[in-house]
Structure 1
């Protein structure tokens, strides 16, 4: 089995990292991953990543929450136990809907937020007790790491990365990195 090698280029500034990503992409090299201690605005676009679809799932989860709220309130307040609250009898959902709007809003937000977080964790393959995948612990503090696949072009990649301002360049086996 052949081990795949990658280059880890480490940067200390997010602006230098952004320009380096653009230069590496312009030189037609494939960036496997970039590890950062905080979100870097525009990095996903610079890397050429596809836009996320999590907003679509959030909308669908919000619709589910709204439907659950409507069905729940209709059952609880109209069908199961209708009451005369403050002189307003609860015998029709439509007649009482203005009073139910805050509950519908809150359930929509509750479902969208909670289910979106669960979806994000599952999609990112992050679950309890999972071992961290970042190859260098400094990327959780103040360093940025760009991981590029090596296909027999180590010298060319090294010189390109030195030009982009990398403070450290390491060639590692992919299996050891994670």
Structure 2
């Protein structure tokens, strides 16, 4: 049994990489992930990546922020320390709008950052994990899980036919920058 975990196809051109994705998908070979040094238009649809749910998290964080500050302001100005200012009522919603708006934006911003870091495992101080270090510079890499039923030679042949300049067999999942 082979100890290879991933087969990496390195491409110099994004169009060749997209062709490689098409060839692998036509042969029913599941792609683990694709690493590129820049955004490629249409790659999410081709790989079947689901739409992000970060917007739902932002909405929930904004609702929490609005509820928290509205409750604090209401308690403070209506129950704890009511003041008669110019004969206006204590519970006047237009006076609460600026505070509520600002705290909604604040909670949304911090909540989205925390949610993004949690979802992508990109916490500050964590060492980045990449399949091939050149994927952050000038190469486009397709990673194929080698534990499937397709022979490794067939995957290698398909990647080379698509225009891969190099096909590597990784025994580990990630490469560190220290190597």
- TM-score of the superposition, structure 2-length normalised? 0.81
Q: Deviations over 1:51-89 (max 9, x none)?
A: 33222222111111111121122123333334466x473
CA distance in 2, matches of 1:128, 1:81: 42
The yes-or-no answer on 1:174 pairing with 2:142 is: no
Q: Deviations over 1:113-161 (max 9, x none)?
A: 2112111211222223322210222222222211102245222112211
CA distance in 2, matches of 1:162, 1:62: 49
Gaps of 5+ in 1: none
| Runs of 4 or more consecutive aligned structure 1 residues displaced over 4 Å after TM superposition | 175-178
Structure ranking higher in helix proportion: 1
CA distance in 2, matches of 1:176, 1:134: 5
The yes-or-no answer on 1:116 pairing with 2:112 is: yes
SS of equivalent residue, structure 1 residue 174: coil
Contact 1:83-1:89 at 8 Å conserved across structures = no
Cα separation, partners in 2 of 1:62 and 1:41, compared to 1, 3 Å: farther
CA distance in 1, matches of 2:17, 2:168: 16
Tell me the equivalent position of 2:68.
68
Shift of 1:28: 0.8
Cα separation, partners in 2 of 1:6 and 1:72, compared to 1, 3 Å: same
Shift of 1:31: 0.8
Cα separation, partners in 2 of 1:76 and 1:144, compared to 1, 3 Å: farther
Cα separation, partners in 2 of 1:29 and 1:88, compared to 1, 3 Å: farther
